[in-house]
Amino acid sequence: MRRIAVLNGPNLNLLGTREPEIYGTLTLADIESLIAAYAAERGLEVRYEQYNGEGQMVDALQRLVRWADGIVINPAAYTHYSIAIRDAIAAIGTPVVEVHLSDLAERAKREPFRAISVTADVCIAQISGLGPNSYLRGIDALLAHERLVADLPVHPDRG
């Protein structure tokens, strides 16, 4: 795994001022700097993209598959209802990890509809509730997935 794309969805461009009691005070640029330092220590090249539109997210996934070995995605609100983004993730065959800053399952703080993700089960993992660290654990999950796949025994039928 050499190249990782970090794709953020709607309203994440407003991080820093957007509901700081839920999403914290770091801006998206701050979070991208944290990711950059983490990735650099691991020799990874990272590309960052953020879109507010559903179609733009689908276009980005279809395009990034030609560049990235793995994708960390925070689909934001689309997590809860975008079959188009789900289908794009399922179609591209590149490992994708879904991440969220907030804990989607935290019933006391988050609305029940946020516990539903239509995208998580086509991803290799969902990481939620760790703030900016969710993105770093997302990178870890991509690296662990790569090791796991490399260690799989070759199926006898495939010689």
| Site for ligand DQA, rule CB under 6 A | 11, 74, 76-77, 79, 100-102, 114
3-state secondary structure of 72: strand
Cα dihedral value 35, 38, 40, 41, nearest 10: 180
Shortest distance, CB of residue 96 to ligand DQA, whole angstroms? 14
Q: Indicate the residue among 25 and 45 with the shorter CB distance to ligand DQA.
A: 25
Two tokens at 10?
């709607």
Q: Indicate the residue among 4 and 134 with the shorter CB distance to ligand DQA.
A: 134
The DSSP output letter for 25 is S
Two tokens at 58?
């689908």
Whether 23 is catalytic: yes
Is there a contact between 84 and 58 (Cβ–Cβ < 8 Å)? Answer: yes
d(CA 21, CA 147): 37
Given 23, 51, 78, 135, the catalytic residue: 23
Shortest distance, CB of residue 3 to ligand DQA, whole angstroms? 23
Q: Indicate the residue among 76 and 85 with the shorter CB distance to ligand DQA.
A: 76
Whether 100 is catalytic: yes
Given 51, 100, 135, 155, the catalytic residue: 100
Which residues are marked as active site? 23, 100
